[in-house]
Structure 1
Amino acid sequence: MPTVHAAVSGRRVVITGAGRGLGRVLAAAFDAAGAQVGLVARSEAALKEVAGSLRGDPLVCAGDVRDAAFNESVAAGMLERFGGVDAWICNAGVSPEISAVTETTPDVWREIVDVNLTGTFLGARAGAAVMKAGGRIIVTGSVLGDRPRAGLAAYSASKGGAHSLVKALAQELGPQGITVNAVALGWFDTGLGAHWRRDTERDNDIVSHTALRRWGTPADLPGIYLFLASESSAYVTGTTITVDGGYSLL
């Protein structure tokens, strides 16, 4: 039986939000597994730094995931460079510091929802347009999408919306042989959660409410994405898989 890594080798994978944090971890993991990678983020400099650290020759696409034309240009670039797209990982996301709903401005709300939800939709839309049967769309969700926290209304709503979007897209794209799934992440000590860990009170609160009594590390992240991008997950669709060390249990 082939391993998950072997099943990913040669697959053509787009990773958004690849310039830093968890996206950078995913880029390294898929590159090491032999995938042909397309890196997407706003900062071209950050993407070039990531690309320089990889063994392969990734496609670098700097732009805004909120722009439909940009997402379509990424798909076109993957077709030109690699001949297609097998998996599209909608990982780009933003989150602010905690703020009460009365202090959350309309502009902040729009940015979070536009990047985390609209950007996910536009990426999935662009990927689905060029995928064949066996394609994979993977969305980075959050435990906060199903278990919101006070002060993070916009973020929680955007991730809850993304989880619902996954279910709708799975039904629509299933007849084409394309699977759509989300990974609901807990608290990782890199990416958007890194600054939270530097706050002792928040750190203690999160650890005490996590069954494994620790934050997630980069090593805890890639396995589920590699699985969902591989042939091993061919009969998994429309679901949200939680990777949170048991945070949602307590």
Structure 2
Amino acid sequence: MDLGYPGISGRRVVITGAGRGLGRVLATAFDAAGARLGLVARSERSLREVADSLHGDPLVCPGDVRAAGFNESVAENMRERFGGVDVWIANAGVSPQVSTVEQTDPEVWRDIIDVNLTGAFLGARAAAAVLGEGGRIIVTGSVIGQRPRPGLAAYAASKGGVQALVQTLAQELGPRAITVNAVALGWFDTGMGAHWHRDTERESDIVGHTALGRWGVAEDLPGVYLFLSGAGAAYVTGATITVDGGYSLL
């Protein structure tokens, strides 16, 4: 089953942050499309729950994406299990915390930057060592990286950094026919956005600033990742594709 995205079946795909939320949605979609998966998250229990819900037999890799050695071990385990990696999706991230710059604890800043940006860098670094010609790196970004909001300095900086990282990697890895792209997500009613969705005032404000007049749902998410991973996106690199229902337009 290719879900209309040619070239996915049999692809060896790593998905970080796969234990819940949007990462779980991606794991389900790529599994349905016939990919061979390596699932990464901090919690082994959550990864096992996801793995048990899939049709395939994914590699389960619990650990911390902030550690270079862990990312390298994921790449090596994929090589031992499946013979290599074709697609690395750096999706692991932590939620924004709303506070002014003066109120932001330096440790909170470091944690958000370390997971959202350094984790993506270390994953891409590990992926680059094992990806062959036609390999893909996809990093989950955010419209907040393009349109920052007050109180989200750390989160905005981490996601803005993702876009710069992707553009740099695209230039470095292009000669090897490896593409590198980002997906800038808007407001989804699952994953990290779920608790914001339950806040009536905030939910209404976000809908009012979204061209389609609604939050994103799980079905809105996988298509762009599947496209970027497949045969039709071989000439797309260094791009940030926004999936936000038009939030960044208003």
TM-score range, shorter chain: over 0.9
How far residue 158 of structure 1 moved from its aligned partner, in angstroms, is: 0.2
Which amino acid is 1:145 matched to?
G
Kindly provide the amino acid, as one letter, of the partner of residue 31 in structure 1.
D
Deviation at 1:231, TM superposition (A): 1.2
The one-letter code sitting in structure 1 at the alignment partner of 2:118 is T
CA-based RMSD of the aligned residues comes to 0.9
| Structure 1 counterpart of 2:204 | 204
Does 1:92 pair with 2:71?
no
* 2:77 alignment partner in structure 1: 77
Q: What is aligned with 2:233?
A: 233
Per-residue Cα deviation, 1:187-212 (whole angstroms, up to 9, x for no partner): 00001100001111100000000000
With normalisation by structure 1, the TM-score equals 0.98
Q: 1:124 deviation in Å?
A: 0.4
Per the alignment, residue 134 of structure 2 pairs with 134
- Rounded Cα–Cα distance in structure 2 between residues aligned with 1:34 and 1:5: 11
Distance across 1 between alignment mates of 2:96 and 2:103: 12
Give unpaired runs (5+ residues) of structure 2.
Answer: none
SS in 2 for 1:141: strand
Q: Displacement, 1:7? A: 1.2
Q: In the alignment, which residue of structure 1 is the partner of 2:147?
A: 147
Say which SS state the counterpart of residue 205 (structure 1) adopts.
helix
**Aligned counterparts of 1:216 and 1:170: Cα–Cα separation in 2:** 28
Name the aligned partner's letter for residue 41 of structure 1.
A
Aligned residues: 249
TM-score by length of 2: 0.98
Contact 2:16 2:89 in 1 (8 A): yes
- 2:214 alignment counterpart: 214
Show structure 1 runs of 5+ residues with no match: none
Deviation at 1:102, TM superposition (A): 1.0
Q: Partner of 2:148: helix, strand, or coil?
A: coil
Q: Percent identity?
A: 74
Match of residue 43 from structure 1: 43
User: For the Cα contact (< 8 Å) 1:4–1:227, is it kept in 2?
Assistant: no
Matching residue's letter, 2:51: A
Q: Is residue 22–residue 218 contact of structure 1 (8 Å, CA) maintained in 2?
A: yes
Q: Is the 8 A contact 1:6 1:33 kept in 2?
A: no
Query: Which residue in 2 is equivalent to 1:61?
Result: 61
- Post-superposition offset of 1:97: 2.9
Q: Does the CA-based 8 Å contact 2:166-2:182 persist in structure 1?
A: yes
Which whole-Å CA distance do the structure 2 matches of 1:110 and 1:119 have between them?
12
Secondary structure at the residue paired with 1:101? Answer: coil
Report the Cα offset of residue 13 of structure 1: 0.2
Q: Distance in 2 between matches of 1:242 and 1:185?
A: 6
Structure 2 counterpart of 1:87, one-letter code: V
Give CA-to-partner distance per residue, 1:205-236, whole Å, 9 cap, x none. 00000000000000000000000001110000
1:74-131 superposed Cα distances (whole Å, 9 cap, x missing partner) = 0001000000100000000002331111111010000000000000000000011000
Q: Residue by residue, what CA displacement relative to the aligned partner does 1:27-81 show, whole Å, maximum 9, x if unpaired?
A: 0000000000000000000000000000000000000000000000000010000
Task: Give the equivalent residue in structure 2 for 1:10.
Answer: 10
Q: Is the 8 A contact 1:4 1:226 kept in 2?
A: no
Counterpart of 2:226, as a letter, is L
The residue identity in structure 2 corresponding to 1:91 is N
Once residues 3 and 21 of structure 1 are traced to their aligned partners in structure 2, the CA distance between those partners, rounded to angstroms, is 21
Q: d(CA) in 1 for partners of 2:60 and 2:73?
A: 11
